[in-house]
């Protein structure tokens, strides 16, 4: 029994380890000033592209993940994705020309995009409802922990050279080694939802998954606005300087770790209403944060907003999984990931469009609008869940 528990724990840790690095491609953003100096003959936008270009791969590549997984299995797909990400991540340590650096970053994006959907499908395919709910929360915590650790490591390496900053992607060896040594091949096509335990069904999707992808896109656009506009709002309103804004972001990341751990307890309390109530509290908290010209109170309400964003995310993912066709969790997750990544990519243009639409170009308005979007979504979803639950009780 003890060996069985140890085996189960090692598989669980291996599954979670995949989430450690999935949003860490921007960890080298601090190297932009030094790279601008190195590539002095290149425009600023071209240098900034080095940081952002992995995101382009993350729009369409995840859709291939579900189909490739059916052919070679989750374990092999994870190792291929991680292998490509390691090569692409580390190449800029050794190359000095712009084109090889850009190509290596695209390779990193492709690698990350291949295994990112598996961070969810492994959880939903291997564990029952209660365990998967808890693990989806832990997944968010691990992602935030990974982001924090990579930023700290990259900051240390940056003091040596901008090239060495890319050495932060050596951390990809952690999930690679764990998948290689601790993830059994027998779980490649396993699904706890299938009576046989094995799913060979063709990957497919449905309207519900498309709707959830659109929901994720909309609410992620609101969340990304915090990272785009908050620093400008704090500095221009003389609430604090750039370092104060950086502190708020670091606290926000730490809050996500706490939210991920607390998720299963919040879910037990709010149940089906978890997403709706979390969105309403997050939206109202963000709006109240903007009414405060005091940095301390602003941090308090931003933390509350970030905490409930960290609760909303795994619950909405769980709801999506309930609507996913049998044997298609990886494809469903890929579609959701595409919606999320698209939101981060178009966020600057979305905010510019909203500002132009309402003839208000202040960062405060953009952030308030984000809070309103969360609140309205929460209210609509609350009404939907209320009538759905009522219908179930009648039938």
**Taking the C-alpha atoms of 227, 232, 235 and 239 in order, what is their torsion angle to the nearest 10 degrees?**
-60
pTM of the predicted model as reported, rounded to 2 decimal places: 0.84
Q: Encode pLDDT of 74-117 as tens digits.
A: 999 999 999 999 999 999 999 989 999 999 999 999 999 999 99
- In terms of CATH architecture, what is 207-394? Up-down Bundle (1.20)
CB 226 within 8 A of CB 364: no
Most confident of 55-69, 170-184, 223-237: 170-184
Beta bridge partners of 190: 198
Q: Please state, in angstroms and rounded to a whole number, the distance separating the CA atoms of residues 259 and 240.
A: 26
- Is the domain covering 2-187 a CATH 1.20.1250.20 domain? yes
pLDDT value, residue 2? 47
pLDDT value, residue 76? 96
Q: Please state, in angstroms and rounded to a whole number, the distance separating the CA atoms of residues 136 and 12.
A: 12
Every domain of the chain with CATH number 1.20.1250.20 lies at 2-187, 207-394
Q: Which residues of 87-118 are buried (b: 16+ CB within 10 A; e: fewer)?
A: ebbbbbbeeeebeebeebbebbbbbbbbbbbb
Decide if pLDDT at 152 tops 90.
no
Tokens of 70: 């059916």
pLDDT value, residue 44? 78
Q: Please state, in angstroms and rounded to a whole number, the distance separating the CA atoms of residues 158 and 168.
A: 10
Q: Encode pLDDT of 205-262 as tens digits.
A: 889 999 999 999 999 999 988 888 888 898 889 998 866 877 787 788 889 889 999 9
Q: Encode pLDDT of 2-27 as tens digits.
A: 455 666 889 999 999 999 988 777 78
């Amino acid at each position: 029994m003890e060996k069985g528990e140890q085996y189960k724990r090692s598989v669980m840790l291996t599954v979670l380890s995949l989430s450690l690095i999935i949003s860490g491609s921007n960890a080298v953003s601090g190297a932009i000033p030094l790279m601008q100096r190195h590539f002095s003959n290149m425009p600023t936008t071209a240098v900034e592209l080095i940081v952002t270009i992995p995101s382009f791969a993350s729009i369409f590549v995840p859709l291939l993940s579900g189909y490739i997984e059916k052919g070679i299995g989750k374990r092999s797909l994870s190792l291929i994705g991680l292998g490509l990400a390691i090569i692409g991540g580390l190449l800029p340590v050794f190359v000095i020309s712009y084109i090889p650096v850009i190509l290596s970053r695209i390779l990193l994006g492709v690698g990350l995009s291949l295994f990112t959907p598996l961070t969810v499908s492994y959880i939903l395919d291997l564990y029952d409802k209660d365990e998967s709910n808890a693990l989806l929360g832990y997944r968010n915590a691990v992602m935030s922990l990974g982001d924090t650790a990579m930023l700290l490591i990259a900051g240390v390496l940056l003091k040596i050279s901008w090239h060495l900053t890319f050495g932060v992607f050596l951390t990809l060896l952690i999930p690679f080694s764990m998948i290689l040594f601790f993830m059994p091949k027998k779980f490649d096509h396993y699904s706890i939802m299938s009576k046989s335990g094995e799913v060979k069904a063709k990957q497919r999707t449905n309207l519900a998954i498309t709707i959830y992808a659109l929901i994720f896109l909309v609410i992620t656009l609101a969340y990304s606005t915090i990272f785009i506009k908050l620093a400008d709002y704090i500095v221009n309103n003389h609430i604090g300087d750039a370092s104060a804004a950086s502190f708020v972001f670091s606290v926000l990341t730490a809050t996500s770790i706490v939210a991920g751990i607390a998720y299963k307890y919040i879910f037990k309390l709010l149940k089906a209403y978890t997403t709706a109530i979390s969105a309403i509290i997050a939206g109202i908290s963000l709006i109240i944060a903007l009414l405060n010209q005091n940095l301390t109170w602003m941090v308090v309400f931003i933390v509350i907003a970030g905490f409930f964003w960290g609760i909303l995310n795994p619950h909405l993912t769980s709801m999506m999984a309930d609507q996913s066709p049998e044997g298609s969790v990886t494809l469903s997750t890929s579609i959701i990931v595409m919606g999320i990544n698209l939101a981060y990519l178009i966020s600057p243009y979305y905010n510019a469009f909203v500002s132009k639409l309402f003839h208000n170009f202040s960062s405060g308005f953009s952030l308030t609008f984000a809070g309103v979007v969360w609140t309205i979504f929460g209210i609509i979803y609350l009404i939907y869940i209320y009538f759905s639950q009522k219908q179930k009780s009648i039938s």
